[in-house]
Chains A and B, each alone.
Chain A
Amino acid sequence: MSFIKNAQTLVRENIREYGMFIALFIIMATFTVTTNGIFISSRNIVNLVNQTGYIAVLAVGMTLVIVIRHIDLSVGFLAGFLGAVAAIALVSWHLPVYAAIMVVLVLGILAGLLTSFLVAQMGIPSFVATLAGWLGYRGAIQLITRSTGTIIIPNAAFNAIGNGFIPDIPDFGILPGIHKITLILGFLGIILYVTNEIANRRKMKSYEFEVMSFEMFALKLVFVSGLIGGIAWLLAGYQGLSWTAVVVLVVVIIYNFITTKTVLGRHIYAVGGNPEAAELSGISVKRLTHVVFGSMGMLSALSGILFASRLQSATTMAGTLFELDAIAAAFVGGVSAAGGVGKVTGAIIGALVMTSLTSGMNLMGIDISYQYIVRAIVLAAAVIFDVATRNTGK
């Protein structure tokens, strides 16, 4: 059967890309069985998405940092610190929500540029520079919350970012209790995806570039459409698309566009693949280091906002271990420690894998100590998978 053969070669050639989808699918299926379906319930999936949000945005930034062969350990406490700044801006400075968010995002960019100054200008290894950041921001967050302790944020608009849902059209008889706007958005997403893929394939063919066989193409369309539809249906079954999910989607769409379609994105990957070659081609490695760490700082700020909003407060311990979750998510999502390889969309899947593990094991009531060990095994397995497919990936 040529169809099965096609499918086999397709999977073999793209094993690195499909591996994490397969892993996510297995993890979700396993938890669905072990929790008697609670895991896959609308309510839990909505929660899962909201919990993934603040790690997912960090993982997106971290992916690019690792792609250019650096690491950023400071992002966790930077997120916590900037979340606390947001809380203070709202509570003590009485800034409006949008102003507080802008201030914090700008601070995030500045923090990122401070890191890149140390790394690119002073030539300090990013591991050390950001370890210093880890310590410094940890101190900073304790300093600004010392007099108050946990800062409660009494701002409904701000808290909606981490807890609220997009509005829905009023119920008019059909599909009661189902979030209709979410379904419509899911439907639009499918249409957009399918038409885009078909147009792409047609163009590729007209330019005589190789395309996958029609059966595989159709199967891919059905599969991805089903995935989008399924997720939309699940979300619609509870309260619909959360604002956190919207934020993450916007971040992913923008970053995916930049990394795959723009000169900037191409240069980021070139620097990751061969910094000397990039420099000789007239690409400024320093400039890109500033851009990537600046973006990481901004996404740390966003993560801090999402987390503070979700807890409706800023705590002294906010951001603890976020950096390791983000790094783990990036690696599970297919980023390579050697640099130059890794997709933004993979980071999201990686983040979903890591939060699914936590969520599923919590639902099963597994002891926290075992949870850490299981996550360690998954992270190690992801990197082993990366190395193994890299060597045989001829």
Chain B
Amino acid sequence: MKTTADTTPIVEMRNIKKNFGAVQALRGVDLALHANEVIGLMGDNAAGKSTLMKVLSGAYIPDGGEILIDGKKAHVNNPMDARRMGIEMVYQDYALANNLDVAANVFLGREAVRVKLGPIGVMDNRHMEQETKHLLNRLKIDISSVRLKVERLSGGQRQAVAIARATAFNAKVIIMDEPTAALSVAAIDKVLDLVRELKSQGSSIIIISHRLEDIYQVSDRMIVLRHGRKVSDTPVVGDIHEFREQVVAYMVGARDDFSEEEVA
């Protein structure tokens, strides 16, 4: 295990609160992600995992708390803000346009422009296709052509494209919401390999998952949420059975490492 306590986290969320009407989805959650770290974010349904990540990625505005990026206070008001600050989210349903090809999806919303004719930009397709090709090679993603339409790809390949897209613009942090849901076993292994590959290339990643095995395999640290509060924030150690028992204990409320801090 590397020591991370003395360095400035790449992203820090402090005391994040979010209500939906009378429902307190997040009741003051702290989260710190360090450079080149993979965090597994777990919790039962409605524990607040996705809400927390949507706050970080700009999809939700929090009702309280603050976000620091590289130690500086950041205002994330929408997904584009978050992207500009280097926070990329890979959505559960991939969020790809199936009618467009791989390169078009990787560059969607950030197309390379060759010439600008007033408000209309002429795209530099060749540049985008080449960059996409390099990107897929670098991440060892096996897709025969960047001109294949996404609708022709398998579920695993689509997830790979969605992840590649998140990494295409030097993201500081990549958030993955259930990246292995709805995938075959072989495809899951490929996605996990991709996560390891990204980590080896220096990325910092937060993974939301229901699958404890996935978190166990790729994460350095696990954070468990329960009823909108953080109940565990510990390194991933020990064997898978210990890990599983530990996580389940936190998820069902049998253990809670932060019960006093809630009052403060």
Interface hits, A247-286 → B, CB 8 Å: 258, 261-264, 266-267, 269-270, 272-274, 276-278, 280-283
Choose the segment among A4-12, A117-125, A130-138, A203-211 that binds chain B (4+ C-beta atoms closer than 8 Å). Answer: A203-211
In the complex, the answer to whether B109 meets A283 with C-beta atoms within 8 Å is yes
CB distance from B209 to the nearest CB of A (A): 20
In the complex, the answer to whether B111 meets A203 with C-beta atoms within 8 Å is no
Chain A CB within 8 A of B37 CB:
no
**Taking A269-B97, A282-B79 as contacts, is the C-beta distance between A210 and B145 under 8 angstroms?**
yes
Complex Cα distance A278/B109, Å? 7
Chain A neighbourhood of B96, CB < 8 A = 274, 277
Chain B CB within 8 A of A394 CB:
yes
Chain A CB within 8 A of B83 CB:
yes
Chain B CB within 8 A of A108 CB:
no
Chain B CB within 8 A of A45 CB:
no
Interface hits, B125-161 → A, CB 8 Å: 126, 129-130, 145, 147, 152
Chain B CB within 8 A of A164 CB:
no
Chain B neighbourhood of A258, CB < 8 A = 120
CB distance from B162 to the nearest CB of A (A): 9
Chain B neighbourhood of A276, CB < 8 A = 95
Closest to B125 in A: A261
In the complex, the answer to whether A283 meets B108 with C-beta atoms within 8 Å is yes
Interface hits, B79-112 → A, CB 8 Å: 79-80, 83, 89, 91, 94-100, 104, 108-111
Chain B CB within 8 A of A83 CB:
no
In the complex, the answer to whether A280 meets B95 with C-beta atoms within 8 Å is yes
Complex Cα distance A273/B104, Å? 12
Complex Cα distance A276/B89, Å? 14
Complex Cα distance A272/B94, Å? 16
In the complex, the answer to whether A340 meets B126 with C-beta atoms within 8 Å is no
Complex Cα distance A241/B254, Å? 83
Complex Cα distance A341/B98, Å? 10
Q: How many of chain A's residues touch chain B, expressed as a range?
A: 20 to 34
Complex Cα distance A273/B145, Å? 20
In the complex, the answer to whether B129 meets A209 with C-beta atoms within 8 Å is yes
Chain A neighbourhood of B94, CB < 8 A = 277
Total B residues in contact with A, Cβ cutoff 8 Å: 30
In the complex, the answer to whether B100 meets A273 with C-beta atoms within 8 Å is yes
Closest to A336 in B: B99
Chain A CB within 8 A of B71 CB:
no
Complex Cα distance A263/B152, Å? 23
In the complex, the answer to whether B129 meets A278 with C-beta atoms within 8 Å is no
In the complex, the answer to whether B99 meets A341 with C-beta atoms within 8 Å is yes
Chain A CB within 8 A of B113 CB:
yes
CB distance from A67 to the nearest CB of B (A): 9
Complex Cα distance A269/B109, Å? 12
Complex Cα distance A171/B113, Å? 48
In the complex, the answer to whether B145 meets A261 with C-beta atoms within 8 Å is no
Complex Cα distance A203/B130, Å? 13
Closest to A208 in B: B133
Chain B neighbourhood of A270, CB < 8 A = 97, 100, 104, 108
In the complex, the answer to whether B126 meets A266 with C-beta atoms within 8 Å is no
Chain A CB within 8 A of B252 CB:
no
CB distance from B79 to the nearest CB of A (A): 6
Complex Cα distance A124/B253, Å? 46
Complex Cα distance A264/B116, Å? 11
**Taking A207-B130, A269-B100, A272-B99 as contacts, is the C-beta distance between A277 and B108 under 8 angstroms?**
yes
7 closest residue pairs by CB, A with B: A281-B109, A273-B97, A273-B99, A340-B99, A277-B95, A263-B121, A282-B109
Can you name 22 A-B residue pairings with CB atoms under 8 Å? A203-B126, A207-B126, A207-B129, A207-B130, A209-B147, A262-B120, A263-B121, A263-B122, A264-B119, A270-B97, A270-B104, A270-B108, A272-B99, A274-B96, A274-B99, A277-B96, A278-B97, A278-B109, A280-B91, A339-B99, A340-B98, A341-B99
- B residues apposed to A, CB below 8 Å: 59, 79-80, 83, 89, 91, 94-100, 104, 108-111, 113, 119-123, 126, 129-130, 145, 147, 152
Add 20 more A-B contacts to A209-B129, A282-B79 (CB < 8 A).
Answer: A207-B129, A210-B145, A210-B147, A258-B120, A261-B123, A262-B122, A263-B120, A266-B108, A266-B123, A269-B99, A270-B108, A274-B99, A277-B97, A277-B108, A280-B79, A281-B95, A281-B110, A282-B83, A283-B108, A340-B99
